[in-house]
Structure 1
Amino acid sequence: MGKVNGGFLVSQAVQREGIEQVFGLIGYYVSPIFAACSKTGLKIYDTRHEQAAVHMADGYSQLTGNPGVAVVTGGPGFANAISGIIKAYKSFTPLVLITGGFEPQRKDAGGLEDMDQLTLVKQYTKWCGTVYDTARIPEYIAIAFRHAVSGRRGPVVLEIPINYLRNEIDEELVVWPEKYRTDAKIYGDNEKIAEAICLIEKAKKPIIIAGNGVFYSKAEEELKMFAEYTGIPVFTVNAGRGVLPDDHELCFSPGRALEAGPQLYAFKNADTVIVFGSSLDYSVSFGRPPVFAQNQVFIQVDVDPSEIGFSCRNIDVGIVGHSNVVLKQILDSMKASGKVNKNKYSSWISELKKIRFDFWSDLEKDINNNSKPIHPQRLISDIQKVIPKDSVIVMDGSNAMLWACLLFKCYKPGHHVIGPSGTYGPMGTGLPLALGAKIAKPDKVVVLYTGDGSLGFNLIEVNTAVRMGIPVVIIIHNDSSWGFCRETQRTIFGDSSCNYGTDLGFTRYDKIIEDFGGYGELISDPDDIVPALNRAVNSNKIACLNVIVDGEMSPGANFLNGTVKVNEKE
C-alpha cells in the first residue's frame, strides 16, 4: 500500500456511497478534492456560483431520492452556498455539502478566510461536523450520508480543513466503514393503527394528502393500493406530486392550497383528513380554518414525531413511521377485517368531480385564447401538447410558478420540482435545479418554467449548461416585471397604477442564451408556441423560449393576496 492524501479519500469515500458525480466550484480549500476526482473518475459538474452547485445537488436528489453531493471552497464560497443549504433543510431534501476550511492550528490570527463556518448553518442542517484527522475522512463521510438519509431527510455539512485534505498518510491507516447504517423502516404503533382505521371506517367524506414522505419512502405503490382499496380521493403536494399519477381516477391534484383550485372545496368539506408524509405548513394553510374546518378528524403519519401536530392543528391520531410501511400496515389490517366498502364514498367522489369539472370549465376558456400578450393558460396547454408525459417540470418564480403548479400535470414521482419549495421559498433556484434534474434523468425532457424575474438570479449558469452539455428547455413567463409583487401592491393600496420597484423592463433573454451558445427564440404570437418548442427540444442544447405573456394573476396568486376567498369555492 502507498500514500494517499485527504482529497483522494474524499473522492473514494463518496464513490463508495454509489455517487457518480458531484457539483461544485473550484477554490483553494477544495483543490485536493477536485484533483483527486479527475484521477478517480468522479465526474465534477462545476458551476459559476456556489449557490448553484448546492441547488444542482438538490435537483439531482429530488429526482433520484438519493443525496446529491456539492463541494465548495471555504470562506466566501461557503457563505455563497448557505441559501442552498437552508432551502434543502426547509424542503427536507437530502444532500451532502463538503467544504474546505482554514487550518485549525492557525485560527484566530488574522488569516485569510478564517471563519467559524458551521456556526452559520448549524441550525439549518440535520448534522454538521469537522474532520481533524485525515485517516478519519471516510468515517466522517459515512456519518454525513447516514444523517442525510435517516428519518426525515435533509442536508448535512462536512468541513475538512485544507491541511487534512493535502496531508498524505499510509493507506493502511485508513478504515473504510462498512455496514454502518440500517435501511430498516419505522413501523407505526399497532394501537395507533387500530385507532386510525376506526376513524377511517366512520368517515363519510375522507381525503388523503400525500407529501414528501410518500416520495422519499418510495410508497407510491402502497398509496395506490390503499386508495384503490378504500376509494378515498388523493391530493398530492410538493415532492409528493406524481406518487399517484394525475390521470388516476382517485387523484384530484394539485393539492397545495396555494394553487387555489378545486382542492379548496375538498379541504373545507371533508370530514376526515389523512395526511401521509406532509408537513402541515403554509402550503396547506396549516390544516386550519378558514381553508379547513375546525371540527374535522385529522390523522397524520410522519417519520418525524415533531411534525405531528406541528401547526397546532388538533391531530386525532398521530402515527410515527415511514409512509410506505404504515400504509401497508393500515391496508393489511383493513383487508383482514373485511369491513371496507370502497363504493361507500362514491357520492363524495362524484361531488368532487363536479367541483373539479366546474373549476376547470371556467378556467379553460383561455386554453385556445389567441390574444397577445399570450395568456399563461394557452402557453402551458401548448407546452403539454409537445412534451412527453414523463417529462420533468421545474417551476420557479411567484405568479409564474403558481400558474405552472396548477396547470402542469404530473404522472411520475419526483417529476415536478418546485423552486421556491418548503417554508424558505427562495426564488431563482429553478435553473440549477433543472440542470441537476437533467443530470439525474438524462433520457427525460426537462423543462424549466420560470418568471423573467426569477431567471435572473442564476442566469449565469447557462454557461455551466453549455460547457457541461446539459440540454434543458427554459420557458420564460415574461411580463417584464415582478408580477406578483406588482399586483399585491395594487391590491393592498387600492391603486391600479402603483408600481413600486416592480418594473423590470423588457429583456431579450433568448439572445443572451444564444450568446452563451444555447438556442433561443422570442415568442409573441401564440400560434408560434408549438413549432418553436419542437425546435427547442430538438436543438439538443440548453434552449430558451422567451414568451411575452399576459400578466394576469393566477388563482393561487389571488388566493395569497386575499382576493380569492375560500367560501367562494364552496
Structure 2
Amino acid sequence: MAKVDGATLMARSLKQQGVQYMFGVVGFPVGPIAGAAQKAGITYVGMRNEQSASYAAQAAGYLTGRPGACLVVSGPGVVHGLAGLANAQQNCWPMILIGGASPVYQNGMGAFQEERQVQIASPFCKFAHAVEHVHRIPFYVEMAVRHSIYGRPGACYLDLPDDIILGEVEEEKVQQAATVAEPPRMQAVNEDVEKALNVLESAEKPLVIIGKGMAWSRAEDQVRAFVDRTQLPFLASPMGKGVMDDTHPLSVGAARSHALQEADVIFLMGARL
C-alpha cells in the first residue's frame, strides 16, 4: 500500500491551497520540506537569513492574494522569522511561517534547539498550531490558509516536529482538505452609500484618502472612475500609493498636511484613521 511522508504531504497541501512561493533557510529538520515543495511546483527561494525570508514571504502574500510561505529551522530560526510574522499580522498580509521542531517524543527533554514555538508565535498571528499527526497535515494547512485570507488577512504559524516531517502514513489514511475558496466580496448597504454621498455632496472642502485596502482589492479602475466623476481631491496613504497616479491633477499629496487640516469631510477608501 502506497505511503507518503510528512514533507511531501506538506508541500502537496500548500500547492493545493494555492501557495505559489516559499522563502526560507534550510537546515534540521526542515530540509526535506524545501525539496518536496520544489517537486510539487512551488517556487522555493533560499535566503541568507530568516528575517529576510519572512519579509519576502509576507510581501509575496500581499502581491498574490494567497499566503506566502516562510520555512525556518527550529529555535533561533523561528525566533528570527517572527519579524516578518509580526509585520504581516500588523499589515494584514497573508503569510504562513513554517517552523521545524524537535521530535515529539523529546518534548521537554532539552532537545536540540527546542523552544516553545507555538507559544512565542501566538501573539503575532491569527492562528498557531503544532501538527501532531502526519495524516492531519492537510487539515492544518487548510486552516492556516483560511485564517490568513478570510476576514482581516494576517499571519499564521505551523509547527512541524522532525518525526512528523519524516514520518510516513498510508495514503488512504490522509484526511484530504478542500481548497480554500476566495474570500467573499463584501458590499455596503445601499442606504449607507446614499448617506455617504449626501454628506459628500454637502461638503465644502471634501477630501478622499486612498488606503491600502484599495490596493489589496485591486480596485484601481473603480477608484479612478470615482475620482474622475466626482472631481474630488485625493491623497494616498503610504501603502495606498500607486492606486492613483501622483501626477493626477486632483492629487494633493504635495500639500497633504494643509489638505488634512482644511478638509471638512474626509472620505476614507480602504484606510483607517
* Secondary structure of the structure 2 residue equivalent to 1:29: coil
Indicate the SS of the match to 2:58.
helix
In structure 2, what is the Cα distance between the partners aligned to 1:207 and 1:42?
A: 43
Partner amino acid, structure 2, of 1:74: S
Any conservation in 2 of the 1:62–1:239 contact (CA below 8 Å)? Answer: no
Tell me the CA shift for residue 137 of structure 1. Answer: 0.7
Question: In the alignment, is residue 269 of structure 1 matched against residue 235 of structure 2?
Answer: no
Tell me: CA distance 1:2–1:49, structure 2 relative to 1, closer, same or farther (3 Å): same
Written as runs of structure 1 = structure 2, the 5 A alignment for 1:6-45 is 6-45=6-45
Cα deviation 1:98-143 (Å, max 9, x = unaligned): 1111223321122222211122121221222221111111121111
Distance 1:57 1:116, change over 3 A: same
Unpaired runs of at least 5, structure 2 = none
CA shift at 1:31, angstroms?
Answer: 2.0
* CA deviation after TM superposition for structure 1 residue 273, in Å: 0.6
Query: Residues 223 and 38 from structure 1, CA distance in 2 versus in 1: closer, same or farther, beyond 3 angstroms?
Result: closer
TM-score by length of 1: 0.46
Deviation at 1:182, TM superposition (A): 4.8
- Is the counterpart of residue 116 in structure 1 residue 116 in structure 2? yes
Report matched runs for 1:459-478 at 5 Å. none
SS in 2 for 1:262: helix
1:128 alignment partner in structure 2: 128
Question: Does the 8 Å contact 1:57/1:70 carry over to 2?
Answer: yes
TM-score, length of structure 2 as denominator length = 0.92
RMSD across aligned positions (CA): 1.9
Partner of 1:325: none
Q: Does 1:278 align with 2:258?
A: no
Aligned ranges 1:11-160 → 2 under 5 Å: 11-160=11-160
The 5 A counterparts of 1:385-404 are: none
Once residues 153 and 21 of structure 2 are traced to their aligned partners in structure 1, the CA distance between those partners, rounded to angstroms, is 20
Q: How does 1:249-264 map to 2 (within 5 A)?
A: 249-253=249-253, 261-264=254-257
The answer (yes or no) to whether the contact 1:23–1:45 under 8 Å persists in 2 is yes
The corresponding residue for 1:223 is 223
Secondary structure in 2 matching 1:195: helix
- Asked if the contact 2:149–2:183 (Cα under 8 Å) also holds between the matched residues in 1, the reply is no
Q: Does 1:199 align with 2:192?
A: no
1:238 alignment counterpart:
238
How far the C-alpha of 1:179 sits from its partner, in A, is: 4.8
> Which runs of 5 or more residues in structure 1 are unaligned?
254-260, 281-570
Q: Secondary structure at the match of 1:198?
A: helix
Q: Equivalents in 2 of 1:133, 1:190: separation in Å?
A: 48
Q: 2 CA distance for matches of 1:103 and 1:86? A: 26
* CA gap 1:45/1:216 in 2 versus in 1, 3 angstroms: same
1:189 corresponding residue in structure 2: 189
The residue that corresponds to 2:171 in the other structure is: 171
TM-fit CA distance, 1:23 = 0.4
Percent identity, aligned pairs only, is 30
Structure with larger RCO (C-alpha < 8 A, sep 6+)? 2
* Residue correspondence of structure 1 range 317-396 to structure 2 within 5 A: none
CA radius of gyration, larger in: 1
Q: In 2, distance between residues paired with 1:20 and 1:148?
A: 15
The CA deviation at 1:84 is 1.7
Q: Which residue of 2 aligns with 1:214?
A: 214
Deviation string for 1:201-226 (max 9, x for gaps)? 21111111111111112221221122
Question: For residues 153 and 273 of structure 1, do their structure 2 counterparts lie closer, same or farther at Cα, with a shift above 3 Å needed?
Answer: same
- Which is further off, 52-61 or 5-14? 52-61
**Partner amino acid, structure 2, of 1:268:** Q
